[in-house]
Amino acid sequence: MSAAGRRCGPGFFPPGYWAEVEPAAVRDELRRGFGRWGLPGSFRLDNGGPWGSSGDLPTDLGLWLLGLGVGLLFNPPCRPDMNGVVERSQGTGKRWAEPWDCATPAELQRHLDRMDPILRDEYPSAGGRSRLEAFPGLAHSGRSYTAASERRQWDLEPVLAHVAEYAVVRRVDRSGMVSLYNRTRYVGKAHGGQDIYVTLDPLRREWVFADAQGRQLRSQPAEELTAERILSLTVTHRR
């Protein structure tokens, strides 16, 4: 680590230390975690990438989790206190792992790998007991997962049911188009400049476009919401 990096102090990293992680890399790490700990009942998420943005459609990763039966619980924007237990746990892990003394991400990972079992399995935190003793379900969720069986476990129906709960706003451009998952959809030039609402009909698997009064303008097949696209994380068109 450079001298400039070390001058940053605890909790900070040198310029260029962090980089955006690709959704596929996040999925691969989650697969390893699920294989060890089992599938969780739900994920509590913030609103940044690669998970999503407040008020819009679930991301490719979110759709993949839904198909595995993992619910999505989004924190309100700018409210980390809504996930206080995890935030405190991460703070403790950061202090114990001493990232300011790590020259590389790999060294930091080694520190975390040493400290995490101590924090979970040994450190007294619940009436003198370790977290694992107090909450034996931490050892495994009871919902088995293997990457080899993922396709058999995965189900499109809960994905469609979840997306059907959304009503997202889109402004029609002068060509009569709106964008869903970075894919253009034609609504009609007559509606150019208007804000419309987009919902999903889960039974017909169609996007439904309606005006502010609730009048349906058009419907189109939701061709991006297929098991194949979601499992391959290609729902969103990446230009």
Question: Which residues, listed in sequence order, are joined to residue 42 by a DSSP beta bridge?
Answer: 71
- Of residues 115 and 180, the one with the higher pLDDT is 180
Residue 10 has pLDDT above 50, yes or no: no
Q: Which residue has the tokens 């959304």?
A: 166
* Digit-coded pLDDT (tens) for 19-36: 567 899 999 999 999 999
Q: What percent of the chain has pLDDT over 90?
A: 57
Q: What is the pLDDT of residue 51?
A: 78
Q: What is the pLDDT of residue 94?
A: 77
Domain 3-9+18-152, second-level architecture: 2-Layer Sandwich (3.30)
- Of residues 71 and 13, the one with the higher pLDDT is 71
163 pLDDT tier (thresholds 50, 70, 90): very high
Q: What is the mean pLDDT of the chain?
A: 85
Average pLDDT over residues 118-147: 87
Q: What is the pLDDT of residue 164?
A: 97
By the 10 Å C-beta count (0-12 exposed, 13-18 middle, 19+ buried), 48 is classed as exposed
Q: Side chain identity at 31, as an amino acid letter?
A: R
Q: Which residue has the tokens 């819009």?
A: 56
Average pLDDT over residues 115-133: 84
Range from 12-16, 35-39, 86-90, 176-180 carrying the lowest mean pLDDT: 12-16
Residue 161 has pLDDT above 50, yes or no: yes
Average pLDDT over residues 48-53: 72
8 pLDDT tier (thresholds 50, 70, 90): very low
Domain range 156-231, CATH class:
mainly beta
pTM flag (> 0.85): no
223 pLDDT tier (thresholds 50, 70, 90): very high
What residue ranges do the domains of the chain occupy? 3-9+18-152, 156-231
- Of residues 183 and 87, the one with the higher pLDDT is 183
Distance CA 73, CA 45 (A): 6
Q: Side chain identity at 34, as an amino acid letter?
A: F
